[in-house]
Amino acid sequence: MKSTWLIAALLFTSGGPALAQSAASRSAAPIPAEDRPRVDTLPGSPVEPKDSPALRYGALFEAVQSGRVFADGKTFADAVPRRDPDAIMADYLAHRPSGEALKTFVLANFTVRGQNDRGGLRDHIRKLWPQLVRQPEAVPAGSSALALTAPYVVPGGRFQEIYYWDSYFTMLGLRLDGQQPLVESMLENFTGLIERVGHIPNGTRTYYLGRSQPPYYALMLDLSQNTDPIVAARRLAALRAEHEYWMKGAGCVKGKAACLRVVKMPDGSLLNRYYDDRDTPRDESWAEDVATAAEAAPRLAADVYRDLRAGAESGWDFSSRWLAKPGSLATIHTTDIVPIDLNSLMWAMERGISERCAKAGDEPCARQFDALSVKRKKAIDRYLWQPGQSRFADWDMAARRPTAVTSAATLQPLFVGLASPAQARAVAATTQRVLLAEGGLRTTVLSTGQQWDEPNGWAPLQWVAIEGLSKTGHDDLARDIARRWIGTVRSAYGETGKMLEKYNIETRTPGGGGEYPVQDGFGWTNGVASAILDKYPELATEN
């Protein structure tokens, strides 16, 4: 049965405040003395008592303010009741909602400055896309920008160029929000980048050319609606070139543990790591990198720079996943780590090449890449799957053992279809037990001050988890993560009117940490929100 306050809210929107007041007032019960607001009537006042909100709303006011339902304490103090305050208080005391339900109650019963007048989340996202679109332009002499040939979408904020793995999650929303031409034009840009420089760089700046990002190009191609065989052939050639870029180190790994982005595991099988072709401070974070290298002495500065750059290639810049000591960025050793998410994506790339070669009638290619994917899965199951811990882990090749960090990356094998049913069940249980937070999926369970650690949550990791769990038969958990995450995004949108790069999923507020302030815009948050609301449309109105 719906609570009285919700019925009253519905009546307000359909029949006006008088009808809502009438419905709620009829059910108002006497308020216990200990919860009744204390009201002092001013001398000489012939009409209404002149009381403050704290006195008028008593226990409700205290719950809202102590729970920091609104970032600014003045927000609720200035709120205007939509109906009789006594009826509001009676409904509050009858149900005493907390957390997100408390905020829903307040917004249903009060007009709150900056809160009630925002449009729907999905409509807001649709209006944002044109603001994030950029047209190809000639690059001025001396600029660090890389020229592109077709329109594209940027993340927003300080990120005003195209980024690799961001774009896959942005494209999810573009496809669903009637922007398919932008999906195709972004694929044109990525295909052209592979043809020009041999890989898709971290972003379209010259200082990003030494590295890539998590390789989602194969999965991007699945979002295309272009059926032209000439385009398909060109894209397949580009996909094979990307695989060659990531596996280039296979030719020099003999006699050593790793070369470039390739790692030789103890049994001789080959997996991948993150790397960067350069070992200097990052142009975009030069001062920060120099300071980190100084703190890391006596380690060679070049080694520290390489590991920082490799951390940037991972997209998780930075995280305890890459740190020998979780609280110290100076202990970063990304190039020692064999990551589960990267190798899951490499497996998906090999499967994608095999399937596309088969469709093109190139059977030798199809067999070759099918065999590579089988070998990779065997190595992942042997070294990265930890059955006793019910998780997929990263592997520390220097220590020759899995790392202790449990992270959202454990869900990537479910997302790409690599995990067995038994592995998926175990990971789902770990997710439920360890990674599920009030406002979505935790990135890691360690709070280090780095932005890819607790308490931050990130849109791409939510979608990987939601789709991975849903595909493997754990839809209840998938929907629960989706509900929690959309609640977080909606709450922050209600507060700020913005879509943000990252969120604190413990408090459902803007995220923090890292090398720069939280950014708004925001491409992948928009894309994932649209994808979630398309998959679970009831979440558009559910609280």
Residue 197, C-beta contacts closer than 8 angstroms, at least 6 positions apart: 209
Of 334, 341, 339, whose CA–CA distance to 168 is shortest?
341
Residue 539 has φ and ψ, to the nearest 5°, of: -75, -10
Contact 147, 205 (CB under 8 A): no
CA dist list (Å): 23 to 17, 29, 333: 10, 13, 64
How many Cα atoms occupy the beta-carbon half-sphere of 344 within 13 Å? 23
Measured distance CA(493)–CA(222) in Å, rounded: 31
Residue 111 has φ and ψ, to the nearest 5°, of: -90, 115
Angle separating helix axes 4-15 and 17-27, nearest 10 degrees: 160
Active-site position among 177, 313, 501, 520? 501
Place of tokens 């190009």: 217
Long-range Cβ pairs for the range 403-407 (8 Å, 24+)? 403/321, 403/337, 405/319, 405/320, 405/321, 405/326, 405/444, 405/446, 406/430, 406/434, 406/435, 406/444, 406/445, 407/319, 407/321, 407/443, 407/444
Alpha-carbon Rg of the chain, whole angstroms?
26
Residue 460, C-beta contacts closer than 8 angstroms, at least 6 positions apart: 165, 166, 168, 169, 315, 524, 528
Measured distance CA(285)–CA(308) in Å, rounded: 10
Angle separating helix axes 229-247 and 340-359, nearest 10 degrees: 140
**Whether residue 166 lies in the annotated active site:** no
Contact 78, 113 (CB under 8 A): yes
CA dist list (Å): 478 to 123, 174, 390, 441, 485: 24, 22, 18, 10, 11
DSSP collapsed to 3 states, 5-23: HHHHHHHHHHHCHHHHHHH
Contact 478, 444 (CB under 8 A): no
**Whether residue 501 lies in the annotated active site:** yes
Active-site position among 317, 394, 454, 520? 317
The residues annotated as belonging to the active site are 317, 501
